[in-house]
Structure 1
Amino acid sequence: MNTHPALLDHLVLATPDLAATVADFTRRTGVAPAPGGVHLGRGTRNFLVSLGGTGYLEIIGPDPEQSAPRGPRPFGVDGISEPAIVTWAVRPPDLDAAVAAARLRGYDPGPVRPMSRRRPDGTLLSWRLTDGDGAHPSGLVPFLIDWGDTAHPSAGLPVTPLLSLSATAPDPDEIRPLLAALDTGLPLGTGPVGFSCTVDSERGPVEIC
């Protein structure tokens, strides 16, 4: 059974207007997120900024250069009216072992499936992750990811170090056992479902909700 805690891989900041959100982040922090790539067939693209170490922030929104996808865009992008951190990913030492351990502890992260995208320079990134379709609806329980032999996306990104990450939920005690089943944790308070993170920048701490 996995005995090492899962590491923060990335936070997902979903937005209905990718260009506007990237511009706002740049204005507030003085750091311009780097183009990440296009999710072909899913109708989205992303921009990335390192949170220090191998954690990063993914800003994801509709790709105006793609036609509308057959199904909904990922991370509820179609249903939001303003930017928000909607979920997060952790990286266990062994993805398959972590999924098996979580199921033994009473939480099923969902099936593992492969995904890929190309960077703007043409480099193919491939990874595996747990299917979010069956994830906890709050988004507060992370999905699991494994980059395998692919270079981690955080490499070479502009940096805004993560100072803090927390969340609120109407019933935090419902969420905590699910986090524990994944060998991770998240400071939780009582309130409406939502995340709050603070990053450091040349312009001082910046809060992102």
Structure 2
Amino acid sequence: MNAIPPLLDHLVLATPDLAASVAEFARRTGVTPVPGGVHLGRGTRNHLVGLGGRSYLEILGPDPEQPEPAGPRPFGVDRLTGPRTLTWAISPPDLDAAIAAARARGYDPGPAQPMSRRTPDGTVLRWRLTDGDSAHPCGLVPFLIDWGESPHPAASGLPVTPLLEVTGTLPDPEEVRGPLAALGAGLSLAAGPAALSFTVDTPNGPVTFA
């Protein structure tokens, strides 16, 4: 199995305290994530770090400058007690074809939903992603994303910590092998507590986040 999943678009490191997690990432790696933008109406914002190529890390947390959203914040941020690598996204060449193919293979990644965020320079990025409500709750099965006509975040001059590997553990890894295969996604799996972790190369040497 490849150390880096094919089609990887981004990893999601969610946190109840965005400023603290960004500072901790900078302390551990020597690289400071940059503001990505605001998810208007959803109560979150993010900071980003490139992972090399067309992949990046999204550090996502509550946005104290937004009013409380009408519903729960994305990725269960409201329930987190500390930072955690929650899930990951792949970017297939054709999102709708990938959804149809996965359903034909017995796994429904959910419908594609439109999303957007406003970057610090005022640009609005728009994309589509699968909603993930039917995804395996462990987060090891990725959601799918299509950036459409928007510029890809990894192409925006982000600071980079090259990705070395992504690994997942689950008490029974066989639970997710079928959905991963249906999506054409690969992930290095081992038995253990449900968790997703990744290692990046940094000025301070390799650093692992879970």
Q: Assess same fold via TM > 0.5.
A: yes
What do residues 89-126 of structure 1 show as CA deviations (whole Å, max 9, x unaligned)?
00001000000000000000001111111100011101
Aligned residues: 205
The offset of 1:6, in angstroms, is 5.4
2:113 is the alignment partner of 1:110: no
Q: Which residue of 2 aligns with 1:71?
A: 71
Counterpart amino acid of 2:49?
V
Alpha-carbon distance in structure 2 between the residues aligned to 1:109 and 1:165:
21
- What 5-or-longer segments of structure 1 have no aligned partner? none
Counterpart amino acid of 1:141?
V
Q: Which residue of 2 aligns with 1:131?
A: 131
Alpha-carbon distance in structure 2 between the residues aligned to 1:198 and 1:140:
16
Identity of aligned residues (%): 71
Equivalent runs, 1:14-163 vs 2, <5 Å: 14-155=14-155, 156-163=157-164
Counterpart amino acid of 1:167?
G
Poorly superposed stretches of 4+, deviation over 2 Å: none
2:196 is the alignment partner of 1:192: no
Q: TM-score, normalised by structure 2?
A: 0.96
SS in 2 for 1:133: coil
Counterpart amino acid of 1:164?
E
Q: Is the 8 A contact 1:6 1:92 kept in 2?
A: no
Q: Which residue of 2 aligns with 1:172?
A: 173
Q: Is the 8 A contact 1:6 1:91 kept in 2?
A: no
What do residues 16-36 of structure 1 show as CA deviations (whole Å, max 9, x unaligned)?
000000000011111110100
What do residues 151-196 of structure 1 show as CA deviations (whole Å, max 9, x unaligned)?
1011110000000110101110110111000001101111111011
Alpha-carbon distance in structure 2 between the residues aligned to 1:136 and 1:151:
29
Alpha-carbon distance in structure 2 between the residues aligned to 1:141 and 1:205:
25
Alignment RMSD, CA only?
1.0
- What 5-or-longer segments of structure 2 have no aligned partner? none
SS in 2 for 1:178: helix
The offset of 1:135, in angstroms, is 1.5
